[in-house]
Structure 1
Amino acid sequence: MGYDIEQYESLALWIGLAILFFFIGMAIQDVLKRGKVPLFGRIFVWIVLFTGCAGFIAKGIIQFIYETQGLG
């Protein structure tokens, strides 16, 4: 029974973090729009944001693989 609670907690954490990333992206979009940032600057900001998210997702996938193989 306790194992199910841990799964729900983990799922809620990942969903919460995804929502947090979404709101951060919306805030950045609003700042870029209101600041009238040129296209090159907008592209650079979104590339940086995407690589940060991609690294976070890669870390989660690697952690999941290690945990399912009993390494962590």
Structure 2
Amino acid sequence: MLSQHYETIEILGTNIAIGILFLLIGLAIQDVLTKSNVPKFGRWFVWLVLFLGCAGFIAKGIIQVIWEAGI
């Protein structure tokens, strides 16, 4: 049974690992921003860039699923 679902398990594991990586990057950025007293504008800009990176990753996944489904 495992060999039949190997690709699905691999894709799921990869997506979970990348999600955890984004979470850890966010926590590291939050720590650096609080310890270095970055102004509000700088904080907003950093979080905007991080959000756009996550949104791009999610959009890529959605586009890939739609493309492979042939919709």
Give the TM-score taking structure 2 as reference length. Answer: 0.91
| CA RMSD, Structure 1 to Structure 2 (Å) | 1.4
Indicate the percent of aligned positions where both proteins have the same amino acid: 59
Which residue of structure 2 aligns with residue 64 of structure 1? 65
Distance 2:20 2:40 in 1: 26
Which residue of structure 1 aligns with residue 35 of structure 2? 34
Where do 5+ consecutive residues of structure 1 fail to align? none
Where do 5+ consecutive residues of structure 2 fail to align? none
Distance 2:19 2:4 in 1: 23
* Structure 1 moving runs of 4+ over 4 Å: none
Aligned length: 70
Which residue of structure 2 aligns with residue 19 of structure 1? 20
The higher relative CO (CA closer than 8 Å, separation ≥ 6) is in 2
